[in-house]
Amino acid sequence: MIDKKYERVLVTYINMGIVDGFFYIWLNAYWRAFIIAFPTIFIIVPQVRKLVGILVK
């Protein structure tokens, strides 16, 4: 089984194959996704917790 921390790199490698600048392409894609995902989590998670709290009562 592949360790979780290597999954993203491996998936990118499988999709692209061996190309020049592989690490740069992977890092660029990672940071673009991080810029969207990280703030989204801080906005969405509190609202979901509040909704779950209402539904569980």
Q: What is the pLDDT of residues 16-28, one digit of tens each?
A: 777 788 788 888 8
**Both tokens of residue 3?**
């360790």
Digit-coded pLDDT (tens) for 34-43? 999 999 999 9
Write out the residue range of the structural domain in which residue 8 sits. 4-56
Res. 30: pLDDT tops 90: no
pLDDT band at 31; cut points 50, 70, 90: very high
> What's the domain count of the chain?
1
Distances (CA, A) of 39 to 10, 11, 43, 45: 26, 24, 6, 10
